[in-house]
Amino acid sequence: MTLHVSNLTRSFDGKIAVDHISFDMTEPGVFGLIGTNGAGKTTTIRMILGILTADEGEATWNGKKITRESVRYGYLPEERGIYSKAKVIDQILYFGALRGMNEREAKDQAIYWLDRFKVMEYKDQKAEKLSKGNQQKIQMIISLINDPELIFLDEPFSGLDPVNTELLSDVIKELVARKKFVLMNSHQMSTIEDYAENILILNRGKTVLQGNLKEIKAGYGHTNLIIDSGDEFVQLAEQTGLKLLEKRADEAEFLVGTEENANRLLSAMVDKKLKPTRFILREPSLKEIFIEKVGGYEHDTESI
Amino acid sequence: MNTILKVFKFTFLQEIKKKSFIISMVIISLIILAITAGPSIYDKIKGKDEDAGEITEKSNTIYLLDEKESLPGVKESLEKEFQNSQVIRISPQDLEAKKAEVKESGNIVILSIKGGDLPSINMYRKDFRSGPSLDSIQKVISGSWAEEELKKRDISIEDIELSKTLLPITPTESTNLNPTSFALSLVFCFLLFFSIYGSAIAVANSIAMEKSSRVMETLIVSADPKYILLGKVLAIGLLGIVEVIWFAIVGYFGYNMFTPKDFSMGGTPLDFSGITIPAILLLLLIFVLGYALYVFIAAACGAAVDKIEDVNQAMMPIMMVSLASFYLSYFSISFMVTTGPFATAATFIPTAAPFYLPFMILNGIGTKASILISLVILLLSAILMGYASIRIYKAGVMNYGKKKKFTELFKVGKSL
């Protein structure tokens, strides 16, 4: 099974919103679509789903154009919305019916997901009486009601409290375990980093980086060093030529560039008889890669 | 088709459970019952008044000033013609005091007759609505004068009475126009307008609500927009039909329960001969076509706005057209205009026809061909509007922010 996206392009009033985006998703799991606000993430998803027509390019699932009829997909839109005056169970069953489920199947699925998202007690209430977080969970249930094989989640964690974030995380892990293809859209790097095996970074409609996240990080090498935050450690690191990225309560993070630079600091510590409690070399975070790519790109484009 | 039915079922059940719908059904039903009970209530009030005595029975007063006694029989003639009025002769000295009474009450008039070869009558009244009409007063006093003149010419009493004989006349009309059908035409004109226009507003609001609440995006990935629109239109249309049928049942029940069997309108007994099964089916067809036309226009308006508050603004041009069409039909019916440019416009303009055609059908006005042509024009307009509306809807439902013209949405909708 493959989601194949090829050269998707779309303009609005002469301004290019998405510019020749291509990627493939060949394995079940999570694919992360990352970008700043207005980068073109939602437009890309809408074009894949056919909500918006693409000026150019196409998206296929197993070689077929993605339509309501050809693919069983689920979609959680960025702009949340449910029928406020309708009962929760009524609208879940309605969307199940619209997606071709019979009443029994839809009811079984609805009961399962209401229980899974811990909102069973609200099933007979009007949606307007639910909190925003619970409404969001109902919409997530609606997007999963037809047991989709391909799932699009547009900013799924926005607006959720930590408890519900954890709950949704578990659901996404469950979906991955059930071999679902999940395309997740977010500008929160940590959430993507937690789930996505492959990513695509968008900036102003253009692809600035894409590929396997582990490989991308490995390509950067161990560029960051975390040591104790004591003044003697920080001063020594700076004297060695390392750039302080962030100083936290109990640790400081430096950009080392190469592992040799880190080794020089370690030698200097030994010479000075300093005994660090932590000395961790790590790959850059997705957030750092993103800022490097997008920030640099913005600088480049602004100077053109 | 299956998807249309699913949208239809959900929309119908949601709409029929709305408090606003239930409350308006109850209020309108009560109004209909009150109207059907109106004649009985009126009779009871009238009966009480009759029991109260002669003064109340003769609720109007005509002061008669005939200074020269030129028309001795005029008092009796006036009393005979205006039985609910007491006629009192007054002298010239009383005139100013009585004029003051006239200024205060609409139930008092003064008739001052100036004698001569050809007497003239001066009528003092509070305003144009007070007392009997000028025509009827003129007729009675002129008759009285003519009688006196004939007497002066030695014409016998028998001959004078003979001259007043009214020959029997039986009307045979080419239409069914009678007070009942006429009143029903007005009722249908109102009922269809409010039902059709109310349904159109409901569809526009429903679509705008789905857009503004952002449920639309979930909806259109679940079903084809054209099926969503058609399902919604059918559901709210059925709701309109349910409303009309319910009101007809309430009216029928109220008529049988509360309206006196001998009730008449303008002296003519109620006549429901115009309400035949074919007429009812035609009325239903007119409702469906008129509804389809208006609702598809409204659907395009609902799809073109982002917020539910903007629906009224988008509907404004439609409201102007519908009101103009309604008033064209309403006044054509009220003044019984059956020929000429107004009748032609009300028959063939598709936005006006749904409100005027019931008048033609119930009263047997116009040819079958003109009714058929009107229905065909209405049908074609509804189909064309439906086609345009679906295209605008498909493009409009996902258009947020910058407003697009209907023509732009129409073009965009083609590719979706």
Instruction: Compute the count of residue pairs across chains A and B with CB atoms less than 8 Å apart.
Output: 61
- Give chain A positions within 8 Å (CB) of B214: 77, 79-81
Could you give the C-alpha distances from A27 to A24, A180, B87, in angstroms and in order?
Answer: 9, 9, 105
Q: Name the DSSP letter for residue A257.
A: S
Residue from A94, A126, A154 to probe the interface with B (highest B Cβ count within 10 Å): A94
Q: Could you say which residues from 9 to 38 on chain A have a Cβ atom under 8 Å away from some Cβ of chain B?
A: 13
Q: Is B345 exposed, middle or buried (0-12, 13-18, 19+ CB in 10 A)?
A: middle
Do the Cβ atoms of B6 and A97 come within 8 Å?
yes
> Is A94 in the B-facing interface, judged by CB distances under 8 Å?
yes
> Is B309 in the A-facing interface, judged by CB distances under 8 Å?
no
Query: Hunting for tokens 């099933």 — which residue is that?
Result: A123
Q: Is the complex ipTM higher than 0.85?
A: no
CATH architecture of B60-158: 3-Layer(aba) Sandwich (3.40)
- Give chain B positions within 8 Å (CB) of A49: 221
Between CA B412 and CA B398 the distance in angstroms is 11
- Give chain A positions within 8 Å (CB) of B6: 94, 97-98
- For residue A236, how far is the Cα from the chain centroid? 38
Between CA B295 and CA B298 the distance in angstroms is 5
Residue ranges in chain A whose pLDDT is less than 70: 296-304
Could you tell me which CATH number the domain at A222-282 has? 3.30.70.260
The answer to whether domain A3-218 has CATH 3.40.50.1010 is no
> Is B252 in the A-facing interface, judged by CB distances under 8 Å?
no
Which helix (H) or strand (E) segment holds residue A103: the answer is: helix A103-116
- Residue A69: the pLDDT is 84
For residue B416, the chain A residue with the least C-alpha distance is A53
> Is A79 in the B-facing interface, judged by CB distances under 8 Å?
yes
- Residue B70: the pLDDT is 82
> Is A42 in the B-facing interface, judged by CB distances under 8 Å?
no
User: So where are chain A's domains?
Assistant: 3-218, 222-282
- For residue B27, how far is the Cα from the chain centroid? 19
Question: Which of B7, B13, B218 lies closest to A77 in CB terms?
Answer: B218
User: So where are chain B's domains?
Assistant: 60-158, 177-414
Ordered per-residue pLDDT tens for chain B, 416 residues: 789 999 999 999 998 988 888 998 999 999 999 988 888 887 777 665 555 544 445 678 999 998 888 888 889 999 988 888 899 999 999 999 999 999 988 889 999 998 778 888 999 998 888 888 888 899 999 988 888 888 888 888 888 888 888 888 877 777 667 788 888 889 889 888 988 888 898 889 888 888 887 888 888 889 988 899 899 999 988 988 888 889 889 988 998 888 887 777 666 777 777 788 888 899 889 989 999 999 999 988 888 887 888 888 888 988 899 999 999 999 999 888 888 899 999 999 999 999 999 999 988 888 899 999 999 999 999 999 999 988 888 887 766 556 667 677 666 666 66
Q: Which amino acid is at B114?
A: K
